[in-house]
Amino acid sequence: MELQISNQYTRNDQRIHIYSQAFLNNLQAVRTLCKPETKICAVIKANGYGHGIREIVKILKQGPVDFFAVANVYEAAYILDIVGETKTLVLEPVHTYFGTDAVKLCAEKGIHCAAVDPEAIDFVYGCLKNTGLVLNVHVKVETGMGRCGIDAGKAAQLIKKIHTTENVSLAGVYTHFSTAAEKNMGYAEYQFHYFQKFLSSQSLLACKDVIIHASNSAAMLNMPQAHFDMVRCGIALYGWAEHPDLLKIKLQPAMKFEVPIVQINQYKKGQPIGYGRTFSAWRDTVGAIVPVGYADNYWRAYSNNAFMKVGDKFAQVIGRVSMDKTIIDVTDIADAKVGLYVTVIDNDAQSLCSVYRQAEMADTICHEVLTSLPARAARIIH
Ligand SMILES: *Cc1c(COP(=O)(O)O)cnc(C)c1O
């Protein structure tokens, strides 16, 4: 194991394998679901859904990506040197707390920003007047998500204001669905129609310079009528969906997380294992200790519940997951020995340690399992 003395560190004992070809295949699968002229915005916020944002940018740049969407200006700045010709869209609406430097940087580097607030437009003007710089903004319309969009009436005024303010240019108009991954598409349809009515009322649909977008991965898969000029795909590019049955196309999970066995323990029948004695060996048991725990977001909810993959066999977590350590039952796995890497999260949707399984066990969605991947784990790019 590699170790360097430094004030930053990478855990080389925790390996996150990133499969470039799987990403590019997923991107191509998305591409084939869309019309040729539809732009693709790859959503890489939250450190590339936990995979490692810079690694993901370098891979996806090789495919047909028109935009990268990030959560905030910090992420935009962090990938600035590697995005190349691909544009960046900051999903957090521009506001006065961005600070002058951030607004100038975005304008200078052609980074697009969401916009929902007339005051923020005045602020942008204040930051940029007499510089000759222009900030491209995408107005986010509230259609039923109830988060950070601006109501349709006010959005119309905001668009007028943008048109009449120097140093600000309308580059996009968009909305976001709150239920596109649900079986019942009624509410998503309602949002779609509401958005379309707004676009018609503003004569935006035929407007060549303004990119209209609405669809996340689920809507990209389920609502082709809502693709407009661009789709914003996150989870699908990483090879997952809210539900496996949502998938109409073949996606390949693009990440596998592994850690080595660091100790093998023999437990006598009846011996308690781990904090709280929540598990007692029901037979003479061989346990393998692996260096991953809830501090690495291998959640306590996985205690006595999750599986890891050892070779081609599955081993159950026994006892509580602790802060940095977890124990798995390898009694029936002869190959288990110190130094052998075991799979914590598999790149196989059917696996007992797939992201779907982990999400189910922790009562959450794939997005949260992925964004919880340990940031310090070594990334190995294939
Ligand atoms: C995160 C996000 C997306 C991507 O969602 P997925 O379900 O991962 O495809 C799209 N649009 C916006 C505004 C988002 O915040």
The total number of residues shown for the chain amounts to 382
Query: Is the CB of 232 within 6 Å of ligand 1?
Result: yes
Give mean pLDDT, residues 111-115. Answer: 98
343-to-216, 290, 315 alpha-carbon distances in Å:
29, 10, 10
Query: Please, which pLDDT band fits residue 242 given cuts at 50, 70 and 90?
Result: confident
Question: So what's the pLDDT on residue 86?
Answer: 97
Question: So what's the pLDDT on residue 5?
Answer: 83
Question: So what's the pLDDT on residue 64?
Answer: 95
- Sequence spans of domains, the chain: 20-246, 255-381
Sort residue 131 into left (φ over 0), alpha (ψ -120 to 50) or beta.
alpha
What tens digit of pLDDT does each residue of 6-41 get?
Answer: 888 899 999 999 999 999 999 999 999 999 999 999
Sort residue 235 into left (φ over 0), alpha (ψ -120 to 50) or beta.
alpha
The residue contributing the CA closest to ligand 1 atom 3 is 216
Question: So what's the pLDDT on residue 3?
Answer: 80
Query: Is the CB of 213 within 6 Å of ligand 1?
Result: no
Burial string for 213-243 (b: 16+ CB within 10 Å, else e) reads bbbbbbbbbbbeebbbbbbbbbbbbbbbbbe
What atom in ligand 1 is closest to the CA of residue 236? Answer: 9
Pocket test for ligand 1, best of 49, 53, 89, 91 (most atoms within 8 A of CB): 91
Please check the confidence at residue 287 and state whether its pLDDT lies above 70: yes
Task: Say yes or no: do domains 20-246 and 255-381 share a fold.
Answer: no
Question: So what's the pLDDT on residue 276?
Answer: 97
Question: What is the share, in percent, of the chain residues with pLDDT greater than 70?
Answer: 99
What tens digit of pLDDT does each residue of 309-344 get?
Answer: 999 999 999 999 999 999 999 999 999 999 999 999
What tens digit of pLDDT does each residue of 162-209 get?
Answer: 999 999 999 999 999 999 999 999 999 999 999 999 999 999 988 889
Please check the confidence at residue 248 and state whether its pLDDT lies above 90: no
What tens digit of pLDDT does each residue of 51-103 get?
Answer: 999 999 999 999 999 999 999 999 999 999 999 999 999 999 999 999 999 99
The mean of the pLDDT values for the chain is: 96
Burial string for 249-260 (b: 16+ CB within 10 Å, else e) reads eebbbbbbbbbb
Give the Cα separation of 238 and 28 in Å (integer). Answer: 12
Which overall architecture, per CATH, does domain 255-381 show?
Beta Barrel (2.40)
Please check the confidence at residue 1 and state whether its pLDDT lies above 70: no
Query: Please, which pLDDT band fits residue 243 given cuts at 50, 70 and 90?
Result: confident
| Angle, helices 20-33/53-60, rounded to nearest 10 degrees | 60
Give mean pLDDT, residues 246-250. Answer: 78
The residue contributing the CA closest to ligand 1 atom 15 is 91
The residue contributing the CA closest to ligand 1 atom 6 is 234
- β-strand partners of 310: 313
What's the burial of 166, exposed, middle or buried (CB within 10 Å: 0-12/13-18/19+)?
A: exposed
CATH superfamily assigned to domain 20-246: Alanine racemase (3.20.20.10)
What atom in ligand 1 is closest to the CA of residue 41? Answer: 10
Please check the confidence at residue 292 and state whether its pLDDT lies above 80: yes
State the pTM of this model.
0.96
Pocket test for ligand 1, best of 174, 232, 366 (most atoms within 8 A of CB): 232
Question: So what's the pLDDT on residue 245?
Answer: 77
